[in-house]
Amino acid sequence: MLKVRFAPSPTGYLHVGGARTALFNWMHARKNGGKFILRIEDTDKNRTKPEYLNEILESLRWLKLDWDEIYYQSQRFDIYREYAQKLLEKGLAYQKDEAIFFKYQFNQIKINDLIRGEVTFSELPKPEEVIIKRDGSPTYNFSCCIDDALMGVNCVIRGEDHLSNTPKQILLYQALGFDLPEFAHIPLILSPEGGRLSKRYGATAISDYKKEGYLPEALVNYFLLLGWSAGDNKEILALNQAKELFKLKDVNKTGSAFSLDKLKWVNSRYIREKDSSQLASLLKDYLESEGHPYARANEDELKTAVNLLSGRLVTLADFSSQADFLFEENVNYSSDSLEAIKDKLVDEIKELIKALGTIDNFQENVIESVFRETAAKLNLKPKVLVHPVRVALTGKRKGPGLFETMAVLGKDKVTKRLAKLVEYWESRE
Ligand code: GLU
């Protein structure tokens, strides 16, 4: 049976690169009826932190990358000692001070990498390698090799940054008489300029993306297309579909550039595709986790707001600033919105207030025809009236459809807010 593993070290948060490695492992396992092992490489007592571990586990759960088995290397020190002992007994290791060194003869090593094809390792810098440190903890190469072998991992999928470790691990497999797994090294994720991924470009913890209002489905969709495609240039592809199509051999051999704009686009698409109850409940959870006062809105209020705004949200975090005019009693005019009004249409807005006041059925289509009739009567193009009315109602220059917005706000709020703008203008004459 196919067994793969994701082996994060809880010495930092889960980042884009790690999440994508986990995702590719998960997809390969799920596509082929294999098992996905999560191995926590927490051998470094000083650098391992519980908050990193929690973040890694929570982020993987949030992304829905479920695992079949979980192991902690910190609980397996006896096993590493036992295997170090075996190497000592075979004369393949020696002790110096408290540490144990593995010594090897190096001849060329060739592997058939499932992504990169044939890879040849021609030299290693030293004829020895520490396997147990002076503090008794194993080194990464040693514990990794023993665990992969004992856990039955037969396909090691990891970032290309580990390629230089592979020959050392192969030598250890051979020295201990273990069968070699297959290897697949995934090319790195690069910044848009082609360099290392920096904090500015997506080297952000997955939990930060959550806080910034990204949806897990959107992140997964974006990550899975970072270096892989099903061959049809499809940009919206859910995990469920992707796992049926995924093939390691289709993973690109060269690095892929991270694009925050693309991620935002994918996120906005996923937001738009949710129905209003789903999105309202996601927003409720999000606002609650942020301790935002709009979390107190009831489901109907949130659904109404979502119906009006979902097409304009890039992330869930955009909601509170865009929906403020729905939840606040008074509108705050943004500085640019007032400045952009060329003429103060005091009499015209008063006329509009009167006309709107006569509507019994305050619905979008009725509002629209009354609005247009009033503009015609005043000899104004409707769009000349639209702008100040939008500012009066929402405080902003841009927003969702005006008549829909008016219907959602209701007659009372609409007329009051229009009157307020008139008052504001008059007080400044
Ligand atoms: N703990 C290593 C890391 O986080 C795992 C590398 C591997 O997958 O072998 O980079």
> pLDDT tens for residues 153-175?
999 999 999 999 999 999 999 99
Select which of 31, 49, 133, 199 is catalytic.
199
CATH number, span 335-427: 1.10.10.350
pLDDT at 199: 67
Our mutation pick for probing the ligand 1 site, out of 40, 41, 141, counting the most ligand atoms within 8 A of Cβ, is 41
> pLDDT tens for residues 70-102?
999 999 999 999 999 999 999 999 999 999 999
CATH number, span 3-73+188-262: 3.40.50.620
Ligand 1 pocket list (CB less than 6 A): 7-9, 41, 144, 158, 162
Give a three-class secondary structure readout of the chain. CCEEEECCCCCCCCCHHHHHHHHHHHHHHHHCCCEEEEEECCCCCCCCCHHHHHHHHHHHHHCCCCCCEEEEHHHCHHHHHHHHHHHHHCCCEEEECCEEEEECCCCCEEEEECCCEEEEECCCCCCEEEEECCCCCECHHHHHHHHHHHCCCCEEEEEHHHHHHHHHHHHHHHHHCCCCCEEEEECCEECCCCCECCHHHCCCCHHHHHHCCCCHHHHHHHHHCCCCCCCCCCCCCCHHHHHHHCCHHHCCCCCEECCHHHHHHHHHHHHHHCCHHHHHHHHHHHHHHCCCHHHHCCHHHHHHHHHHHHHHCCCCCHHHHHHHHHHCCCCCCCHHHHHCCCCCCHHHHHHHHHHHHCCCCCCHHHHHHHHHHHHHHCCCCHHHHHHHHHHHHHCCCCCCCHHHHHHHHCHHHHHHHHHHHHHHHHHCC
Distance 143 CA to ligand 1 centre (A): 11
Q: From the alpha carbon of 165, which atom of ligand 1 is closest?
A: 9
Distance 146 CA to ligand 1 centre (A): 13
CATH number, span 76-186: 3.40.50.620
Distance 7 CA to ligand 1 centre (A): 5
Is residue 413 part of the annotated active site? The answer reads: no
Please check whether the two domains, 76-186 and 335-427, share a CATH topology. no
Q: Delimit the domains of the chain by residue range.
A: 3-73+188-262, 76-186, 275-314, 335-427
pLDDT at 201: 64
pLDDT (tens place) for every residue of the chain, 429 residues total = 999 999 999 999 999 999 999 999 999 999 999 999 999 999 999 999 999 999 999 999 999 999 999 999 999 999 999 999 999 999 999 999 999 999 999 989 999 999 999 999 998 888 999 999 999 999 999 999 999 999 999 999 999 999 999 999 999 999 999 999 999 999 999 988 888 887 666 558 999 999 999 999 999 999 999 999 888 888 999 999 999 999 999 999 999 999 999 999 999 999 999 999 999 999 999 999 999 999 999 999 999 999 999 999 999 999 999 999 999 999 989 888 888 887 889 999 999 999 999 999 999 999 999 999 999 999 999 999 999 999 999 999 999 999 999 999 999 999 999 999 999 999 887
Of 248, 104, 243, the closest CA to residue 183 belongs to: 248
